[in-house]
Chains A and B, each alone.
Chain A
Amino acid sequence: MEKNYVIVMKNICKQYPGVLANDQVNFNLEAGEIHGLLGENGAGKSTLMNILYGMQQPTAGDIFINGKKTQIDSPKKALDCGIGMVHQHFMLIKNYSVAANVMLGMRKKLGLKLDEQLASKYLEDFYQEMTHFKVDTKVKIEELPVGLQQRVEIIKILFRGAKILILDEPTAVLTPHETDELFIILKKFKIDGYSIIFISHKLDEIMEITDRVTVMRAGKVIGEVQTKRTNKAELARMMVGRDVIFSLPKKPAKIGEVVLEVKNLAVAVEWGTAIKNLTFSVSRGEILGVAGVDGNGQKELVEAIVGLRPKSAGTVHIMQQDFTKITPTEYMQRCSHIPEDRHEVGVILDYSIADNLILTTHVQEPFSYKGMLNEKAIMKNALEQITDYGIKTPGPNVKVKSLSGGNQQKVVVSREISKCPELLIAVNPTRGIDVGSIEEIQLKILAERDQGKAILLVSTELDEVLALSDRVAVIYEGEFMGITSPETPRASIGLMMAGSRLVEE
């Protein structure tokens, strides 16, 4: 029997200067299915979907919608064809109301006049025919939690009559509970006849929610399988191109003296209190992992410890010395910090690799002496690090912006680890890089722990925290819901991430 394909993408190629992002990709979507699109960062998933949504034009290839060859030259065209996309980074105007966001760009349908009142009325009317969920029409986006912002995105495309939904990494910003809720909604949509493309690099989610999976690697489609007939290991192999170790080789921890001791720390920010009365310590030879959904105070916690942000109360001791009033300059001279955002913070894109490798150590000997830079030492250091960490580059004088994400991150990690301090703070050390680099970096961090460093690992990837840490602290709205063992069931950690306290037994 002929299958009912709503979308067929044939031999799609997309050439960027120097990169072939999509190489003869074939992709199809059946009516009423949830179709997973699986691949690592940089595998070409987003490029393919941007082409389908009209944000990018393919260099070659055809798109058929409901069997008709269609050229999608703009998002408008895609929307007209009934295709809507929920982007990974929300496309919402923060200081507009929910209703105004939904009504934005609907001039043809709604007419010229528009204000908050009118927009709100239109949306209320729409809610009459929409049964799945509702969001208060008059609230401003910036006042909504992330989960609800995502719903606004979905309402936005439903209002435009989309029957095909593209969801780009929709769970990346959600708590496990919010993810469950989203999945319930998606299943309802499926019953109502919507077709859904679900983009992810998380195997568990793909296994749970999809009917079929297309796996991409390095711009190519590696295969297309029925979810029922496959398993995690096979999908991982297709995605990465080799067998993947699901558990890291972890020796038992040899815990030594306390290195970092934080007592009753509080951090006030513009909008309130980001960190409320946190107390914890990290000792030699252990990794304390901090898990939690993005935006629950992780950033403020780290910035306060390293001196980039003032503390409103509490004390910080490093090696028994009072460092409550530490400046970033002092911190960097004795400790390490792998920052959250490598592009914005971790590297200077326009500096060479060699110069970036001394970013936090350039005031120390041998890199400089009495204010003069020592180019020989800088170059020697660069060559060593490039070999030690396998940074793929033509040479040390290449600008960091020309490196891939994984190699940029290796520059940051190698710089911070090779400083050899007692304390390492690592924030999302493997976000947005390829599996190969992830493994290398995680193994390096474990090796540092075994050598007796104290490591504070802050990550929004729960899997990473559980795999690396010796103890896991779950942060929610600036407080620890509890500090527990990494063997704790995921469900209870999920509950803690959503704000329920650890129940002591």
Chain B
Amino acid sequence: MDNVFIIGLLQATLRMATPILLAALGCLIAERAGILNIGLEGQMLCGAFFGYLTVYFGGSLWLGMFAAGLSGVLLGLVFAYLTVTKLNNQMIVGAAFNMFALGITGFIYKAVVGVTGTTNTIPQFKVISIPLLSKIPIIGKLLFEQNILVYLTLLIVPVIWFVLWKTSYGYELRAIGEHPSAVDSLGIDVIKYKYIAVILQGMLAAFGGAYLTLAYANAFVENLSAGRGFIAMAVVIFGSWNPFGALLGSLVFGFADAFQMRMQSIGIAIPYHFMLMLPYVLTVLILAGFIKKAKPPAMETVPYKR
């Protein structure tokens, strides 16, 4: 039983880590460009909802992902307009976005899908066992028996790292988070970079949200994301603004989440509500303990004006 239990736990860890990781990767790109969007949570929620809605009305799963991504891109675009072009306070706008997402998803869900007695479930991305590789003991089951989104997410981690640290685009983007006017003075369009970063961030967060409905919960409920966007921000800090660090951080949270669920199902005596608290408590501890480890981009949340 022990082996099965542990493999199951680790498999679930990766599964639960994926949506957080997606959002965290997006958040990381935006933060490197000097933007902290606490509307991340709302973008996840919208991604989850519009992905769900598309599939609910008969769209394919990939169309659902597309719709989710599109909603994230749009939200990113509006956020960029309000904070990059109009120089508004990123925190307040982000908070408003979260509220907006909560209202609009809940509202449309009730108006369109309605509240009936039955749950309105949808199909999901299936687990794909990769031939041969999945036969490797332990690691096989852990890494090569997951759904396609998990594989794709793990793939983009090194891609983002490569772009940020091995290409001129990455050098320019990171420099914008440190000293935007320096980058501007070299003739690089700072505003364009910021827009692209925020849009990418919105898209990745929305993909993370879509994962929740299309590969995890197969239904939508109000406030489905339940703070995962905020947890993703903590993960970025935990990971020192590095994609591989974010991977590690999201695994820690995935583990906390998976562990909490396992404990419940075995019926261990720790009260259920305390288990549910675990990821949030962990976030607070990480924010409080690790924040001094690495420095955030110097000009984070400071609007850039020539």
Contacts and interface: CB of A to CB of B under 8 A. Distances in A.
The reply, when asked whether chain A contacts chain B directly with Cβ atoms under 8 A, is yes
Interface of A: 53-56, 74-79, 85, 87, 90-96, 100, 103-107, 110-115, 156
Given A78-B187, A96-B178, A112-B167, 6 more contacts: A76-B186, A96-B175, A104-B186, A105-B183, A105-B188, A113-B168
B167 A114 contact: yes
A96 B185 contact: no
A162 B182 CA distance: 17
Contacts of B182: 90-93, 104
Interface in B173-218: 174-175, 178-179, 181-188
Interface in B243-289: none
Given A100-B171, A114-B166, A55 B306 contact: yes
A87 B179 CA distance: 13
Contacts of A77: 187
B165 interface: yes
A74 B184 CA distance: 9
Nearest to B306: A55
Contact of B178 (A93, A105, A112): A93
A38 B170 CA distance: 40
| Max chain B Cβ within 10 angstroms of own Cβ: one of A76, A91, A107, A111 | A91
Contact of A79 (B171, B181, B183, B187): B187
Interface in B129-183: 165-172, 174-175, 178-179, 181-183
A113 B306 contact: no
Contacts of B306: 55-56
Contacts of A106: 168
Contacts of B187: 54, 74-79, 105
Contact of B184 (A75, A93, A94, A107): A75
Contacts of B183: 104-105
A458 to B, nearest CB: 27
A152 to B, nearest CB: 11
A111 B169 CA distance: 10
- Secondary structure call for the B interface: helix
Contact of B186 (A56, A96, A105, A111): A105
Nearest to A160: B186
B160 to A, nearest CB: 15
A95 B188 contact: no
A93 B179 CA distance: 6
Interface core residue of A56, A92, A111, A115 (most chain B CB under 10 Å): A115
A87 B188 CA distance: 16
Contacts of A90: 182
A53 B306 CA distance: 13
- Top 7 A-B residue pairs of the complex, sorted by shortest distance between their CB atoms: A76-B187, A91-B182, A105-B186, A114-B168, A107-B168, A75-B187, A91-B185
B75 to A, nearest CB: 29
Interface residues of B, number: 22
Contact of B171 (A54, A75, A92, A96): A96
A381 B169 CA distance: 56
Interface of B: 165-172, 174-175, 178-179, 181-188, 298, 306
A95 B32 CA distance: 13
A87 B185 CA distance: 9
B294 to A, nearest CB: 11
Contacts, number: 77
A110 B169 CA distance: 12
A103 B167 CA distance: 11
A94 B174 CA distance: 12
A393 B94 CA distance: 38
Contacts of A100: 171
Nearest to B188: A105
17 contacts: A55-B185, A55-B306, A74-B187, A76-B186, A79-B186, A87-B185, A91-B186, A92-B179, A93-B182, A96-B175, A100-B171, A104-B175, A113-B168, A114-B168, A114-B170, A114-B171, A115-B166
B185 A95 contact: no
A93 to B, nearest CB: 5
A95 B178 contact: yes
B185 A75 contact: yes
A91 B181 contact: yes
A378 B179 CA distance: 41
A110 B167 CA distance: 11
Most chain A Cβ neighbours within 10 Å, of B179, B182, B185, B186: B185
Contacts of B167: 112-114
A96 B175 CA distance: 8
B186 A113 contact: no
Contacts of B174: 93
Nearest to A116: B165
A7 B166 CA distance: 39
A85 B169 contact: no
A78 B178 CA distance: 23
Contacts of A78: 187
A104 B166 CA distance: 13
A107 B169 contact: yes
B158 to A, nearest CB: 15
A114 B169 CA distance: 9
Contact of A112 (B165, B169, B188): B169
Q: Which of B168, B179, B298, B306 has the most CB of A within 10 A?
A: B168
A110 B186 contact: no
B186 A93 contact: no
A174 to B, nearest CB: 20
A149 to B, nearest CB: 12
A77 B165 CA distance: 27
B185 A113 contact: no
A414 B76 CA distance: 48
A113 B181 CA distance: 23
Contacts of B171: 96, 100, 103-104, 114
A105 B171 CA distance: 8
Nearest to A111: B168
A83 to B, nearest CB: 11
A85 B185 contact: yes
A47 to B, nearest CB: 12
A107 B175 CA distance: 14
B60 to A, nearest CB: 34
A231 B170 CA distance: 51
A137 to B, nearest CB: 15
Nearest to B298: A94
Nearest to A118: B166
A112 to B, nearest CB: 5
B240 to A, nearest CB: 13
Contacts of B179: 91-94
A93 B181 CA distance: 10
Contacts of B166: 113-115
A53 B183 CA distance: 14
Contacts of B170: 114
A115 B172 contact: no
Contacts of B181: 91
Given A55-B306, A93-B178, A95-B178, A112 B185 contact: no
Contacts of A85: 185
Contacts of A79: 186-187
B178 A55 contact: no
Nearest to B181: A91
A115 B186 contact: no
Given A94-B178, A94-B179, A95-B178, A112 B184 contact: no
